[in-house]
């Protein structure tokens, strides 16, 4: 069954989160999986395991307590957001296998830009050296996933200094524009990433 790709543009976080939950609650055994591609206005999101002390100084940026896994992260314009609404039970995918596939798709995207992205044991996401370039956090309900991943492309990284990203004090953040002077557009990078995700999610284990 093909995956439906939905480009959503720039959307506020909370309405999209609500739509993800509704989609997951209402889907049936024959509902096609979907991948949503978008950007968010500035927002800090705090996952189920999140501790408020990791938000050092939110300032004028809103904080949303959400139901994904993980700690605190930042979303803002210039960052690719991809939400994966997948029936992982139907695809016979475990959560760990799904995370591995997502991370591999991000690594493959970065390789197209000459960037060597790496996994870190016990710290989901992708790193370049000691700096984080991509984050991921999922929620599994009724055998289906929602939430997803973010990749820093060409954004203001300053808000990351107002938090302990993913709960790690002093964790540096980086982005594609700082590692490749002439990257493709955000839309083009999103297309490459979604193709990689679609391929790896549908590939046999």
9: nearest Cα among 49, 41, 37: 37
How many CB atoms neighbour CB 26 within 10 A? 8
DSSP letter string over 5-67?
A: EEEEEE--HHHHHHHHHHHHHH--TTPPPEEEEEE-SSEEEE-TT--GGGB---TTS-EEE-S
Find the catalytic residue in 66, 144, 166, 182.
166
Rg (CA), the chain: 16
* Whether residue 166 lies in the annotated active site: yes
Query: Is residue 74 within 8 Å of 93, Cβ to Cβ?
Result: no
State the catalytic residues: 166
């Amino acid at each position: 069954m093909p995956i439906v790709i939905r480009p959503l543009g720039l959307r506020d976080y909370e309405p999209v989160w609500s739509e993800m939950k509704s989609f997951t609650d209402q889907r049936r055994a024959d509902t096609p999986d979907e991948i949503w591609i978008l950007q968010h206005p500035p927002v800090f999101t705090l996952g189920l395991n999140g501790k408020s002390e990791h938000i050092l100084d939110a300032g004028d940026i809103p904080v949303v307590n959400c139901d994904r896994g993980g700690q605190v992260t930042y979303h803002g314009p210039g960052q690719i957001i991809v939400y994966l609404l997948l029936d992982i039970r139907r695809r016979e995918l475990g959560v760990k296998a799904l995370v591995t596939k997502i991370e591999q798709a991000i690594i493959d995207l970065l390789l197209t830009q000459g960037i060597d992205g790496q996994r870190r044991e016990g710290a989901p996401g992708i790193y370049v050296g000691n700096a984080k370039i991509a984050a991921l956090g999922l929620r599994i309900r009724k055998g289906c996933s929602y939430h997803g991943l973010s990749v820093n492309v060409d954004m203001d990284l300053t808000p990351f200094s107002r938090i302990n990203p993913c709960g790690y004090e002093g964790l540096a953040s980086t982005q594609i524009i700082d590692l490749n002077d002439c990257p493709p557009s955000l839309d083009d990078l999103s297309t490459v990433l979604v193709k990689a995700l679609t391929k790896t999610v549908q590939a046999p284990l």
